[in-house]
Structure 1
Amino acid sequence: MLPRERVIQVIKHKRPDRLPIYGWVRANLSEQIAAAFGSVEDFEDKYEFDMHHAFGGPGSYAAEDLQRLRAERGGPVDPPGLLSLDLTDPNDLSDYQPIVDQLKHHKEQRGRFVYVQTPGIFECLNGPFGIENHLMYLALYEKELHEVYRRQAEWNRQFAMNCLDLGADMVHVSDDWGAQAGLLFSPKVWWELMFPYHKVTCDAVKRRGAFVSVHSDGNVMSVLDGLVQLGYDVVHPYQESAGMDYGVYLDKYRDAFVIMGGLDVQTTIGFGKLDVLQAEIDRVMRLFADGGLLYCTTHFVQEHCSMEELRVAFDHIHRTAREGSPE
């Protein structure tokens, strides 16, 4: 079974020949990995990663436009101000060349399942606004934010369609709403201001017969039913260390979506406790031996993780995915 086929098998709620594996290792550890393994690509090949998380494409607002607006206003950008700016052209295909290159390397040459990061609604607009201001604007500028979000959603939809045209297997929507114990804002705000604009991209991807996933750190238990209604196939990271209970998933949601995650960067990898690390890998892999999980880090492995620990982790993951976890 090719890596891509293995991942699709899991997303379709079927039992794979083995658990698919992946890890977000590049962002903080590329130099260290290159010194220890030759390159990040060599690391990915050594551990036979089944997936790839592709980045690239245009930003939705030009940096110089935002800089000029801040200078003109003498302070932060607010929703009325942002509405005075045009979004960039999502159809400038020259901006997608990094995605094309990654698809060639990972999908065509390695047979991996490739998902492409695309903007959500809240997280991407923290750039223009600043997160503290954005949270305040949810209360002060509801009407204007509906229009800001509507424009962003249409832009996101076209971005996603372009990624699918290039050959991406899944559109991965990144939109952090979660804090350690719950949402950053009320579920009511989520349903009124996030749900309708996520639906624009989700519906378009589904019409194409493609897969769509969502990333939100933290605890998003209160809106899992909304993610199901939106049609998300995959939820990352379903963060157990923020109170996201695997038991609830297995009892209620296992037929609705699959989890991408399982190796927690907040509590498990990067702390030098190798026995705990291996025990946690075994526990999670055993729990999802019949499917429902794309085994992956919950976020980028942090730079305090030693190469020795990274090697121990992925040696164990690679072996356990093939041989099974001890009872």
Structure 2
Amino acid sequence: MTHKERFFATINREVIDRPASWFGLPVPAALPGLFKYFNVSTIEELKFKIDDDIFPVIVPYNNPPYNDIGCALNFRKDGDGGSQDERTLTAPGFFEDMTDVSRIEDFKWPDPHAHIDVVESLRRAKAISPEYVRMGIMWSAHFQDACAAFGMENALITMMAYPEMFQAVVDRIVDFYLKTNEVFYEATKGYLDAVLIGNDFGSQLSLMVSPDDLRQFIFPGTKKLVEQAKSYGLKVVHHSCGSIFPVIGDLFDLGVDVIHPIQALATDMNPEKLKETFPDKGAFFGGVDAQQLLVNGTPEQVKEAVHHLKSIFPTGLILSPSHEAVLPDIKPENLEAIFLANKE
């Protein structure tokens, strides 16, 4: 099978030669160790070497010094908004003390046309061979951004005490991402296969808010983002860290094709339970524990875990670390073991 055929067959739960795989997104601090171990000089060379299936297309969003679509909305009241690794939800947000819906436009909402380089967008997508899956990394994290807009604690208070205000901010954030994504989708039309969107609404033990709160305030926006991507013929991967079992069915019903990730050690996220509960509804991503196993385990233990996952999900699971960010404390030999075991 080609890499692309393997990806689509995996998420459609069809017969495959082996599960599709994704190395993930190494953070900059992890790259020197990875390059040294795999004897390569670029992440592309590394992915070719391990025979990976999915190549990310990073949106060229110009907002110096970060140049990161995940940092497009800086709601922090004072000082720098921070890079992805430095952002905090505990800082006071722009809407911290506001309850008047009419003040939504007081915030200086960015114009995506002024920030997305459409020429570079197309170049990045076309640079990836059509043999591989080209996945746009969109994020579009309207729940997380709403929490940052007020500051986490104030956001959750506002959600309960002033629901119209909270919803208005969420809706305005969704509107921003719909416009932003449209610019990128139009620029790369015909050269993308899938997109990764997401919101972190799970902790290690449970959801951060109730399923009904997500259904009321967040999932209508998710539905719009999913439908927009589908209108361009794209498969949708939805990311949320943590324990999100109570709303996985909701996400599938919204049109999500793949849930990312199976966070192996989070409550109710064990692969056996997911396979039993969702035997023929959507697909999953991840499963190889990045909290303990890839950090402290051995390659043989990693291989054993991969074989176990493949026995549960002979199809319907894209193998990858249980978090998309590959951190410096993960052993390169353990990452290599994932891909070696997948071919065994």
Question: Aligned partner of 1:202: which letter?
Answer: V
SS in structure 2 at match of 1:54: strand
Matches of 1:258 and 1:48 in 2, distance apart? 21
Q: 1:100 to 1:137 in 2, by over 3 A?
A: farther
TM-score, normalised via structure 1 length: 0.85
For this pair of structures, how many residues does the alignment match? 314
| TM-score (structure 2 length as normaliser) | 0.81
Go from structure 1 to structure 2 and tell me whether the alpha carbon gap of 1:17 and 1:273 turns closer, same or farther (over 3 Å shift).
Answer: closer
- Compared CA separation, residues 202 and 286, structure 1 to 2 (3 A): same
Q: Post-superposition shift, 1:57? A: 4.2
Return closer, same or farther for 1:55/1:140 CA change in 2, 3 Å cut-off.
farther
Q: Is the 8 A contact 1:54 1:117 kept in 2?
A: no
* Matches for 1:1-327 after TM superposition, within 5 Å: 1-27=1-27, 28-36=29-37, 37-38=39-40, 39-58=42-61, 59=69, 63=74, 76-78=93-95, 80=98, 83-92=105-114, 94-96=116-118, 99-108=121-130, 111-165=132-186, 166=188, 167-243=191-267, 244-289=269-314, 291-299=315-323, 300-306=325-331, 310-314=332-336, 316-323=337-344
CA distance in 2, matches of 1:251, 1:65: 43
Q: Is the 8 A contact 2:288 2:319 kept in 1?
A: yes
Q: In 2, distance between residues paired with 1:283 and 1:66?
A: 48
1:41 counterpart letter in structure 2: E
| Greater displacement, 202-211 / 225-234 | 202-211
CA contact (8 A) 1:181 1:218 kept: yes
More helix by share: 1
How far apart are 1:268 and its partner, in Å? 1.4
Kept in 1: contact 2:76–2:149 (CA 8 A):
no
Is the CA contact 1:261–1:297 (under 8 Å) kept in the aligned structure 2? yes
Distance 1:43 1:89, change over 3 A: same
| Structure 2 unaligned regions, length at least 5 | 62-68, 82-90
After alignment, is 293-302 or 30-39 more displaced?
Answer: 30-39
Q: Deviations over 1:151-196 (max 9, x none)?
A: 2212222333333331321121120000111110111211111111
- CA RMSD of superposed structures (Å): 2.8
**More divergent stretch after superposition (88-97 vs 167-176):** 88-97
State the AA in 2 paired with 1:104: K
Equivalents in 2 of 1:174, 1:83: separation in Å?
A: 25
Q: Supply the AA of the counterpart residue of 1:223.
A: V
Q: Which runs of 4+ in 1 moved over 4 A?
A: 59-70, 96-99
Q: Quick one: structure 1 residues 140 and 97, their matched pair in 2 at CA, closer, same or farther if it must change by over 3 Å?
A: farther
Distance 1:33 1:68 in 2: 34
SS of the aligned residue for 1:212 comes to strand
Aligned-pair CA distance for 1:220 = 0.7
Write the distance in 1 (CA, Å) between the matches of 2:149 and 2:33: 33
CA contact (8 A) 2:133 2:193 kept: no
Amino acid of the structure 2 residue aligned with 1:20: A
Cα deviation, 1:4-27, whole Å, max 9, x if unaligned, reads 221112222222222111122521
Deviation at 1:278, TM superposition (A): 2.4
The letter for the 2-side match of 1:285 is K
CA contact (8 A) 1:106 1:114 kept: no
Cα contact 1:69–1:77 (8 A) shared by 2: no
Instruction: Kindly provide the amino acid, as one letter, of the partner of residue 145 in structure 1.
Output: F
How far apart are the structure 1 equivalents of 2:167 and 2:138?
Answer: 23
Shift of residue 121 of structure 1? 1.3
Measure the CA separation in 1 of the matches of 2:46 and 2:158.
43
2:64 is matched with which residue? none
- Alignment deviations for residues 284-327 of structure 1 (CA, whole Å, 9 cap, x no partner): 123222x1011111112321223xxx22441x33333223xxxx
User: What is the distance in 2 between the residues matched to 1:64 and 1:288?
Assistant: 41
The amino acid across from 1:56 in the alignment is V
Rounded Cα–Cα distance in structure 2 between residues aligned with 1:212 and 1:157: 14
Distance change in 2, residues 1:224/1:111 (3 Å): closer
